[in-house]
């Protein structure tokens, strides 16, 4: 069998000239539905990436996440204003001739709090600070004593600031300490 002949030179198009810029094109269109899917908050941020002062940040009024999928029953959660609680369930309640809305039922040491689902950003999952199963389960906070939770938050903040300060100080000391590199023995003495 004979190899096929190469195509005629007239069929091959020349490469584009580097002096000519490519024709301008519009960015590709992206279609999406803003009324579905999980809500994403950008607290304090804008589309330009600039950060607003905390006083100007408003909490999201609504979300599209499923209220029953946030936490597991009897899971420990942290309410930003009241402290550690146990998540019990979601209840739907209506207020003054409105459609029923979901509320998270949180068990505290001295009572139950029903937090509106629109305020879900105030409730986060509790993560133990211990390693593995060695961490003790914390005590639930009291709704009637918010000052205790406020003091614990302030203490944790001070501890984190001290830890950050200590780490920075340690890194500065390490950077200042210089030593001569270890001298490697000659390869001849290793095997003699």
Fold topology of 63-128+138-144 = Thrombin, subunit H (2.40.10)
Q: Which band of pLDDT confidence, cut at 50, 70 and 90, is reported for residue 154?
A: very high
pLDDT over threshold 90, residue 180: no
Instruction: Determine the average pLDDT of the residues in 47-76.
Output: 61
pLDDT over threshold 60, residue 150: yes
86 within 8 A of 75, measured Cβ to Cβ: yes
pLDDT over threshold 80, residue 41: no
The pLDDT tens digits for 92-111 are 988 888 889 899 999 999 99
pLDDT over threshold 50, residue 37: no
pLDDT over threshold 80, residue 24: no
pLDDT value, residue 30: 44
Instruction: Report the percent of the chain where pLDDT is more than 70.
Output: 57
Contacts of 71 (CB under 8 A, 6+ apart): 77, 87, 104, 123, 125
pLDDT over threshold 90, residue 162: yes
Domain ranges of the chain: 63-128+138-144
Q: Which band of pLDDT confidence, cut at 50, 70 and 90, is reported for residue 77?
A: very high
pLDDT over threshold 50, residue 86: yes
pLDDT higher for 167 or 176? Answer: 167
pLDDT value, residue 42: 46
The pLDDT tens digits for 121-147 are 899 998 877 655 556 788 899 999 989
pTM: 0.52
- Distance between CA 125 and CA 131 in Å, rounded? 17
Joined tokens for residue 14? 């020349």
């Amino acid at each position: 069998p004979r190899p096929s002949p190469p195509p005629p030179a007239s069929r091959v198009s020349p490469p584009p000239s580097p002096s000519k810029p490519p024709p301008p094109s519009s960015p590709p269109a992206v279609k999406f539905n803003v009324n579905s899917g999980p809500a994403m908050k950008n607290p304090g941020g804008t589309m330009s990436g600039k950060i607003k002062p905390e006083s100007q940040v408003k909490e999201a009024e609504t979300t599209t996440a499923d209220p029953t999928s946030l936490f597991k029953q009897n899971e420990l959660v942290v309410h930003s204003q009241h402290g550690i609680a146990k998540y019990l369930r979601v209840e739907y309640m209506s207020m003054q001739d409105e459609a029923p809305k979901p509320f998270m039922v949180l068990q505290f040491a001295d009572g139950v709090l029903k937090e509106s689902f629109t305020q879900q950003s105030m409730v986060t999952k509790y993560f133990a600070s211990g390693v593995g199963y060695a961490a003790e389960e914390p005590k639930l906070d009291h709704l009637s004593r918010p000052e205790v939770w406020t003091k614990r938050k302030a203490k944790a903040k001070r501890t984190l600031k001290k830890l950050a300060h200590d780490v920075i100080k340690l890194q500065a000391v390490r950077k200042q300490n210089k030593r001569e590199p270890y001298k490697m023995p000659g390869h001849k003495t290793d095997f003699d």
